[in-house]
């Protein structure tokens, strides 16, 4: 890394990017080698050592204390004596958020924030410290295009002031647009390094996976296949946040068989609560949900599963039990199917795991604890667990967040295959490229309401951006959501 440089670090999940950065930040001890900062070797045994050396990091999995406020999280580890200076921390949060161009409320409790808002807090927390090297692991995963450009502008200014920035991303377009140099890891080794301006997106993708990759063009719709009888009907849906304030305000839409309906919106506008209600993990505050014409009572995961809904939540780490094996995680949602004489049928569980591991190309053994898997392989475990039941309706949130090119390609192909088999797919994503590539129709949410609907083919990004910011017009789109 050079002073004032934005340096991309690329590689498939499991290539070693996160492990390397954890070593640099003191979260993992190296077996050999050294780290040199400003020409001086440094011993980094903990994040405290890294911070003292001028290194800051935003990890892929957040390290926030959820019951505390944003300001309290910033104050942790910064003060001396018996008191935390929350006034100073709030001022630091405000200043850092202004530099980023992203609003962060210092008094907000972290557990009341969405995943995207929590990621912003992590970025602010890192920048609020005086660091010379800033490591960003997938910092744009939950930002809309306007916010991404604002972040990029801030990073360029910081680099111009001499800050060295490590930028880890699976979005190759972002890497080409932002960075000065790029290093690619594969199998724990440096596969190649280059000036970013001298390479293109396909070259980088093939260097990462070691083979030609399929392009990211829009997937063709299954012509004439969507029936007029919806498999999923949502009418006037209402729900509250944890603090009792409204999260969903009269949300209505339909998803037909063999159709992908994409849900666009800036993080924190009700998408997470919508997925939770439809998944049975948040109480229904009003309205109706029907699956294949049958009305759900709401508030029960078993009821949702029995109705034929498959669920893939945005937080994949919270959707598995890390210390349990791959085999047991694969049967968690239908454990009663694997009982024999009042006991679990271990042979059947292992046989099921071997079959699904082969079918979904999961890089793991049935006995491996899920916590030892890469993000891409954990997502494959979740896909296998859900798709093995062949659900009528598939509720999917942020399915490729943090995944590499190869894993993203695989996950998207499985979602499209589910559509072709006759499922109705509700796809919630903050990646516009993903929504436009996979969806047949789109709805846009803002402040808990559906503010627009349009066909994905030929959708205008500018119009989508305005709708997501609450400034667009739904026009004649309402009839398209019927």
Q: Which residues contact 401 (CB under 8 A, 6 or more apart)?
A: 138, 141, 142, 314, 430, 431
pLDDT tens-place string over residues 75-109? 887 766 667 788 988 998 888 888 766 788 999 99
* Alpha-carbon gap, residue 310 to 333, rounded angstroms: 10
Q: Residue 77: how many CB atoms within 10 A of its CB?
A: 12
* Alpha-carbon gap, residue 270 to 248, rounded angstroms: 6
Instruction: For residues 241-267, give the mean pLDDT.
Output: 91
* 181 within 8 A of 8, measured Cβ to Cβ: yes
pLDDT in the model for residue 195 = 95
Instruction: For residues 235-248, give the mean pLDDT.
Output: 89
pLDDT in the model for residue 131 = 83
Q: Is the pLDDT of residue 222 over 50?
A: no
Instruction: For residues 44-62, give the mean pLDDT.
Output: 87
pLDDT in the model for residue 317 = 84
Q: Is the pLDDT of residue 34 over 90?
A: yes
Q: Where is pLDDT greater, at 376 or 49?
A: 49
Q: Would you state the structure tokens that stand for residue 287, as one six-digit string? A: 């309205």
pLDDT tens-place string over residues 192-215? 899 999 998 888 888 887 766 554
pLDDT tens-place string over residues 303-351? 999 999 999 988 888 899 999 999 999 999 888 899 988 899 999 999 9
pLDDT in the model for residue 181 = 96
* Least reliable range by pLDDT among 114-123, 182-191, 473-482: 473-482
pLDDT in the model for residue 170 = 79
φ/ψ of residue 8, rounded to 5:
-85, 140
Q: Residue 206: how many CB atoms within 10 A of its CB?
A: 14
pLDDT in the model for residue 472 = 65
What is the band of 167 on the pLDDT scale with cuts at 50, 70, 90?
very high
pLDDT in the model for residue 223 = 42
Residue ranges with strand state E in 212-319: 230-240, 246-256, 259-264, 286-291, 294-295, 309-312
pLDDT in the model for residue 227 = 52
pLDDT in the model for residue 211 = 65
Measured CA distances, 384 to 203, 345, 357 (Å): 30, 19, 8
pLDDT in the model for residue 355 = 96
Instruction: For residues 20-43, give the mean pLDDT.
Output: 93
Structural domains of the chain, with CATH: 6-209 (3.40.50.300), 230-308+391-481 (3.40.50.300), 324-381 (no CATH)
Q: Which of 282, 333, 332, 272 is nearest to 306 (CA)?
A: 333
pLDDT in the model for residue 267 = 77
Measured CA distances, 419 to 100, 285, 442 (Å): 39, 29, 15
Q: Is the pLDDT of residue 455 over 60?
A: yes
Highest mean pLDDT among 253-262, 357-366, 404-413: 253-262
- Mean pLDDT value across the chain: 86
pLDDT in the model for residue 101 = 65
Q: Would you state the structure tokens that stand for residue 360, as one six-digit string? A: 């979904």
Q: Is the pLDDT of residue 478 over 70?
A: no
What is the band of 146 on the pLDDT scale with cuts at 50, 70, 90?
low
Q: Is the pLDDT of residue 115 over 80?
A: no
pLDDT in the model for residue 480 = 41
pLDDT in the model for residue 239 = 92
Q: Is the pLDDT of residue 249 over 80?
A: yes
pLDDT tens-place string over residues 371-420? 998 888 898 999 999 999 999 999 999 888 777 777 788 889 999 999 99
Q: Is the pLDDT of residue 224 over 50?
A: no
pLDDT in the model for residue 477 = 42
pLDDT in the model for residue 116 = 66
pLDDT tens-place string over residues 1-10? 999 999 999 9
Highest mean pLDDT among 73-87, 121-135, 259-273: 259-273
pLDDT tens-place string over residues 412-427? 999 999 999 999 999 9
In the three-class reduction of DSSP (H, G, I as helix; E, B as strand; rest coil), residue 388 is classed as coil
* Least reliable range by pLDDT among 244-248, 293-297, 462-466: 462-466
* Alpha-carbon gap, residue 233 to 139, rounded angstroms: 34
Q: Residue 14: how many CB atoms within 10 A of its CB?
A: 20
């Amino acid at each position: 890394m050079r002073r004032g440089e934005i340096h991309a670090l690329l590689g498939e999940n499991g290539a070693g990017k996160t492990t390397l950065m954890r070593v640099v930040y003191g979260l993992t001890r190296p077996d050999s080698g050294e780290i040199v900062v400003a020409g001086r070797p440094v011993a980094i045994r903990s994040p405290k050592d890294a911070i003292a050396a001028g290194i800051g990091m935003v990890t892929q999995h957040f390290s926030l204390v959820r019951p505390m406020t944003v300001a309290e999280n910033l104050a942790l580890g910064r003060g001396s004596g018996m008191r935390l200076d929350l006034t100073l921390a709030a001022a630091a949060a405000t200043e850092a958020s202004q530099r980023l161009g992203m609003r962060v409320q210092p008094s907000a409790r972290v557990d009341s924030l969405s995943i995207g808002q929590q990621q912003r807090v992590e970025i602010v927390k890192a920048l609020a410290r005086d660091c010379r090297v800033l490591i960003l692991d997938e910092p744009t995963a939950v930002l809309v295009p306007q916010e991404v450009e604002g972040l990029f502008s801030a990073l360029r200014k910081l680099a111009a002031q001499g800050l060295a920035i490590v930028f880890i991303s699976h979005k190759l377009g972002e890497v080409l647009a932002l960075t000065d140099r790029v290093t690619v890891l594969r199998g724990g080794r440096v596969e190649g390094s280059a000036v970013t301006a001298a390479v293109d997106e396909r070259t980088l993708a093939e260097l990462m996976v070691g083979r030609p990759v399929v392009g990211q063009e829009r997937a063709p719709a299954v012509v004439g296949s969507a029936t007029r009888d919806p498999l999923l009907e949502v009418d006037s849906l209402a729900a509250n946040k944890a603090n009792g304030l409204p999260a969903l305000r009269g949300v209505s839409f339909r998803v037909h068989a063999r159709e992908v309906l994409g849900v666009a919106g800036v993080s924190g506008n009700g998408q997470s609560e919508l997925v939770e209600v439809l998944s049975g993990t948040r109480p229904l505050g009003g309205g109706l949900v029907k699956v294949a014409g049958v009305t759900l009572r709401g508030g029960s995961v078993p009821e949702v599963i029995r109705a034929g809904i498959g669920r893939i939540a945005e937080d994949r780490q919270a959707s598995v039990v890390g210390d349990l094996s791959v085999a047991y995680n694969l049967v968690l949602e239908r454990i009663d199917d694997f009982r024999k004489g009042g006991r679990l049928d271990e042979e059947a569980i292992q046989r099921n795991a071997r079959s699904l591991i082969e079918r979904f190309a999961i890089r793991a053994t049935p006995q491996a604890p899920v916590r030892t898997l890469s993000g891409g392989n954990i997502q494959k475990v979740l896909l296998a667990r859900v798709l093995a039941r062949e659900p009528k309706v598939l509720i999917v949130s942020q399915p490729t967040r943090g995944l590499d090119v190869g894993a993203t390609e695989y996950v998207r192909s499985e979602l499209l295959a589910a559509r072709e088999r006759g499922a109705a797919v509700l796809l919630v994503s903050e990646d516009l490229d993903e929504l436009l590539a996979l969806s047949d129709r789109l709805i846009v949410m803002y402040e808990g309401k559906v503010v627009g609907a349009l066909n994905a083919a030929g959708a205008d990004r500018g119009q989508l951006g305005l709708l997501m910011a609450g400034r667009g017009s739904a026009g004649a789109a309402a009839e398209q959501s019927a």
